[in-house]
Amino acid sequence: MSIKEEIEKRRTFAIISHPDAGKTTLTEKFLLFGGAIQTAGAVKSNKVKNHAASDFMEIERQRGISVATSVMGFEYRGYKINLLDTPGHKDFAEDTYRTLTAVDSVILVVDCVKGVEEQTQRLMEVCRMRNTPVMIFVNKLDRPGKDPFDLLDELETKLNIKVRPLSWPINMGSDFKGVYNLYRQHLDLFSPNKTSIETNVVAIDSLYTPELDEIIGRDADDLRESVDLVEGVYEPFELESYREARVAPVFFGSALNNFGIRELLDTFVEIAPPPGPKITGSRTVRADEEGFSGFVFKIHANLDARHRDRIAFLRVCSGRFQRNKLYHHVRLNKNLRFNNPYSFLGNEKSVTEDALPGDVVGLYDTNNFKIGDTLSEGEIMMFKGIPSFSPEIFREVVNANPMKTKQLEKGISQLTDEGVAQLFTLQPGNRKIIGTVGELQFDVIRFRLEGEYGASCNLYPLPIHKACWLTSDNTQKLREFMQRKSNHIAYDKDERPVYLAESEYMLTSAMRQYPEIQFHFISEHSQETA
């Protein structure tokens, strides 16, 4: 098989949702159907022993939530699947936003009972900004939920995208009988089954065959009426409309009961886009180019607590990544060799000899990498679009155990390199300030500092409204502002000046008084060469 053919057989995507919509459960069922795991874990109970394969951090097991993106690769029907399971909780949305830069498409999970929720809308906004193709899985059909037509209207209105159902449910809740697959025109009958992946598929020539009445009884007429309405209201499905992110196909099912998963997965591998072009500051890189290139979108320290390792996750964008070959680190302007690059299934890793566009490779890192770094075969280019968002909550770090100062500094440095939070240094006094978008991130920081680094700290709240990155073509005005606001000027990990605004009023006043200065609320990770 040629490299071009191999690229066409790759599908790299993320599963996103509001918390508790069933995202991690769906992830595991994909692994189950792909043969990557034999039994699914339990995510919601901290009393069970078999936890979700994608939730491997101790705090995830204790709280029953995903707090970090997991990378999983498996094969299905001749396709190489690279699946990224993302945190659903809004406090960890920034990790999800960065992950979306590394995928070619998305499956969005929606709870049929709750419909479109706040975090669902936020995640969809990021997808819309990037024109990322989206497929929607309406989950929990075994529970009483919203009317399917009302739910489709809600999806279009709140997510600002046209939808096209490719399956249709026959009732919901205790009366749920299955779905009619509009895309393949067959009937899939429901039976509660949390362990087996076998499904009862019935091939029918037409919805108007008497056989349908024999199978689902009086619900046959309702199904015919609903399908006629779907075909009349919604435009026929077009592949290009989906791949250009103008329409979102919709499937219905129950992830917990392994129902609707095969239909979703079969259609996904068939229609989802293969690895596509990626934009750099100088040009657009095509996946089928001969020269290797890739970027780091995630860093995770202590993936294996026994070895205290640090792994940089790299998305291959073009060419072929090969083990033991020298590659150019653009920001550091030096060449690096990787003896043991990894592929992943959650926290289980194995050495891989090579990787192609769309693949995610784990690189053992000795503090060489930052999020956003580019590797190439020598070309000087920096991939764009990996954001840092202005934090909303700020805490000053105060060491609780002076005997563990080095451990604390190392832990804070590594955790903020991962993107768990953002670190700012304020003078005088070299004060360390952590900024996050949610309270839960501070719990994760404390938990991991103690468990992984043996360090502890107190985190004291600070009256800061917003952190703004500062740039200006007028160096004199920028210097004047920074001197005037010296007690509120900090530096991020890339030594860029940041204004820690005391209040909304002070921020507005500063922006009005200094129109020559740009106050940025989103900053791309720096990739400038050293």
Model confidence at 39, in pLDDT bands (50, 70, 90)?
low
Question: What is the average pLDDT across 15-19?
Answer: 87
Tokens describing residue 391:
């934090």
Q: Is 233 exposed, middle or buried (0-12, 13-18, 19+ CB in 10 A)?
A: exposed
- What was the pLDDT predicted at 223? 96
- What was the pLDDT predicted at 306? 58
User: How do residues 177-211 score in pLDDT, each as one tens digit?
Assistant: 999 999 988 888 887 765 556 667 787 878 999 99
Model confidence at 38, in pLDDT bands (50, 70, 90)?
low
Q: Is 1 exposed, middle or buried (0-12, 13-18, 19+ CB in 10 A)?
A: exposed
Share of the chain above pLDDT 70, in %: 87
On whether the 387-524 domain is CATH 3.30.70.3280, my answer is yes
Q: Cα(295)–Cα(370) distance, rounded to whole angstroms? A: 10
Q: Cα(144)–Cα(388) distance, rounded to whole angstroms? A: 39
CB atoms within 10 A of CB 117: 18
- What was the pLDDT predicted at 45? 35
For the chain, give every domain's residue range.
Answer: 3-176+235-271, 278-376, 387-524
Q: At which residue do the structure tokens 């075994």 appear?
A: 142
- pTM equals 0.81
DSSP summary character for residue 111 = E
Model confidence at 527, in pLDDT bands (50, 70, 90)?
very low
Tokens describing residue 243:
């791949």
Model confidence at 51, in pLDDT bands (50, 70, 90)?
very low
Q: How does strand 360-364 pair with strand 310-318?
A: antiparallel
Q: Is the pLDDT of residue 46 over 50?
A: no
Closest CA to 321 of 282, 363, 279: 363
Closest CA to 423 of 406, 407, 411: 411
Strand partners, 295: 315, 374
Question: What is the average pLDDT across 383-391?
Answer: 78
Q: Is the pLDDT of residue 47 over 50?
A: no
Q: Cα(45)–Cα(30) distance, rounded to whole angstroms? A: 21
Strand partners, 300: 311
User: How do residues 442-459 score in pLDDT, each as one tens digit?
Assistant: 988 898 899 889 999 999
Q: Cα(195)–Cα(335) distance, rounded to whole angstroms? A: 48
Q: Is the pLDDT of residue 50 over 60?
A: no
Residue 244 contacts residue 131 (beta carbons within 8 Å):
yes
Q: Highest mean pLDDT range out of 65-79, 89-103, 213-227?
A: 213-227
Q: Cα(166)–Cα(183) distance, rounded to whole angstroms? A: 5
Q: Highest mean pLDDT range out of 32-41, 106-115, 184-193, 205-214?
A: 106-115
- Using DSSP, state whether 302 is helix, strand or coil: coil
Residue 314 contacts residue 360 (beta carbons within 8 Å):
yes
- What was the pLDDT predicted at 284? 96
Residue 476 contacts residue 505 (beta carbons within 8 Å):
no
Model confidence at 499, in pLDDT bands (50, 70, 90)?
very high
Sign of the CA dihedral running 503, 505, 508, 509: negative
Q: Is the pLDDT of residue 259 over 70?
A: yes
- What was the pLDDT predicted at 357? 97
Fold of 278-376: Rossmann fold (3.40.50)
Tokens describing residue 247:
């329409």
Radius of gyration of the chain measured on its C-alpha atoms: 25
Closest CA to 239 of 261, 271, 203: 271
**Same topology between domain 3-176+235-271 and domain 278-376:** yes
In order, the DSSP letters of 52-83 are -TT--SHHHHHHTS--S-EEEEEEETTEEEEE
- What was the pLDDT predicted at 276? 94
Q: Is the pLDDT of residue 48 over 80?
A: no
Q: How many residues are given for the chain? A: 530
> What would the CATH number be for the domain defined by 3-176+235-271?
3.40.50.300
